Amino acid sequence: SFTAEAVPQAPEDPLFGLMAAYRADTFDKKVDLGIGAYRDDNAKPWVLPVVKRADEILRTDPALNHEYLPIAGLATFTSAAAKLILGESSPALLEKRATSFQTISGTGAVHMGALFLSKFFPGNPTVYFSNPTWANHHQIFSNVGLPIATYPYFSKSTKGLDFEGMKRGIAEAPDHSIILLHACAHNPTGVDPTQEQWKELAVLLKEKSHFPFFDCAYQGFASGDLAKDAWAVRYFVEEGFELCIAQSFAKNFGLYGERAGCFHFVTGPGVDAQTTIGRISSQLAILQRSEISNPPAYGARIAGLIMNDEELFKEWEENLRTMSGRIISMRKALRSKLEELGTPGTWNHITDQIGMFSFTGLTEKQVLQIREDAHVYMTKNGRISMAGLNTGNVEYFAKAVDKAVR
Ligand code: PMP
Q: Is 331 exposed, middle or buried (0-12, 13-18, 19+ CB in 10 A)?
A: buried
- For residues 130 and 152, what is the distance between their CA atoms, to the nearest angstrom? 6
Examine the pLDDT at 12 and tell me if it is beyond 90: no
- For residues 236 and 211, what is the distance between their CA atoms, to the nearest angstrom? 11
In this prediction, residue 310 carries a pLDDT of: 98
Cβ of 299 below 6 Å from ligand 1:
no
pLDDT per residue as tens digits for the range 326-373: 999 999 999 999 999 999 999 999 999 999 999 999 999 999 999 999
| Average pLDDT score over the chain | 96
Q: Give the residue whose CA is nearest to atom 10 of ligand 1.
A: 106
Examine the pLDDT at 35 and tell me if it is beyond 90: no
Q: What are phi and psi of 3, to 5 degrees?
A: -130, 135
Distance of CA 382 from the midpoint of ligand 1 (Å): 19
Cβ of 248 below 6 Å from ligand 1:
yes
With bands split at pLDDT 50, 70 and 90, how would you rate the model's confidence at 271? confident
Examine the pLDDT at 13 and tell me if it is beyond 90: no
- For residues 154 and 44, what is the distance between their CA atoms, to the nearest angstrom? 31
Distance of CA 274 from the midpoint of ligand 1 (Å): 30
pLDDT per residue as tens digits for the range 184-220: 999 999 999 999 999 999 999 999 999 999 999 999 9
- For residues 184 and 246, what is the distance between their CA atoms, to the nearest angstrom? 12
Cβ of 106 below 6 Å from ligand 1:
yes
Q: What 3-state class would DSSP assign to 180?
A: strand
Q: Please say if 251 is a catalytic residue.
A: yes
Q: Give the residue whose CA is nearest to atom 1 of ligand 1.
A: 217
In this prediction, residue 394 carries a pLDDT of: 97
Amino acid at 368: L
pTM value is 0.97
Task: Determine how many CB atoms are found less than 10 A away from the CB of residue 291.
Answer: 13
Examine the pLDDT at 15 and tell me if it is beyond 90: no
Distance of CA 55 from the midpoint of ligand 1 (Å): 23
With bands split at pLDDT 50, 70 and 90, how would you rate the model's confidence at 4? very high
Q: Which residues make Cβ contacts (< 8 Å) with residue 17, sequence separation at least 6?
A: none
Cβ of 134 below 6 Å from ligand 1:
yes
Q: Please say if 347 is a catalytic residue.
A: no
Select from 187, 219, 221 the residue to mutate for testing ligand 1; criterion: most ligand atoms less than 8 Å from CB.
187
Contact 363, 17 (CB under 8 A): no
**Largest Cα–Cα separation, the chain:** 65
Contact 184, 216 (CB under 8 A): yes
Q: Please say if 134 is a catalytic residue.
A: yes
Q: Which residues make Cβ contacts (< 8 Å) with residue 355, sequence separation at least 6?
A: 184, 185, 186, 187, 190, 192, 218, 221, 222, 327, 386
Q: What is the dihedral of CA 112, 124, 174, 92, to 10 degrees?
A: -40
Atom of ligand 1 nearest to the CA of 250: 16
Distance of CA 87 to the CA centre of its chain: 18
pLDDT per residue as tens digits for the range 385-403: 999 999 999 999 999 999 9
In this prediction, residue 14 carries a pLDDT of: 80
